[in-house]
Amino acid sequence: MSREREEKTIRAMIAIYCEDCHQTRGELCPDCTALSEYAQARLGKCPWGENKPVCADCTIHCYRPAMREEIRKVMRHAGPKMLLRHPVLALDHLLRERKPAPARPARNASTNADQANEHPDADDNLPLPGSHLRD
């Protein structure tokens, strides 16, 4: 799923949630606007790129705790309704939920200050014991 589609999915879910829970129509309340902007910004920085797993499966958990709680509420509420309102986006998301997340994102040069749980693999490049003695 492309990032553009992912952005649409999140926006659609927040819109459903806001409409139902905050009685808005066609426009998000200030809280949901902030949440939506936050979600788009996180998505823009997601190190998974096009291989991104669905956020629920993601091993990185890049959301701030308060925002994570909010987006969870949104997904719990809007998830089942997505199938009726946005079947294509919802199916895409459901299909991807069945795929396991790749072990880790492809390494790229981007720096994400708040990704505390990414460990550099320091020992990947150690020479095998004795291998340098042979020649």
Catalog residues that contact Zn ion under the rule CB under 5 A: 18, 22, 29, 32
Residues 6+ apart with CB under 8 A from 129: none
Smallest distance, Zn ion to C-beta of residue 115, A = 28
Token pair 């089942």: residue: 80
Q: Burial letters for 124-133: b for 16+ Cβ neighbours within 10 Å, e otherwise?
A: eeeeeeeeee
Smallest distance, Zn ion to C-beta of residue 70, A = 10
Smallest distance, Zn ion to C-beta of residue 2, A = 26
* DSSP 8-state assignment for residue 117: T
Q: Which is nearer to Zn ion, 79 or 101 (CB)?
A: 79
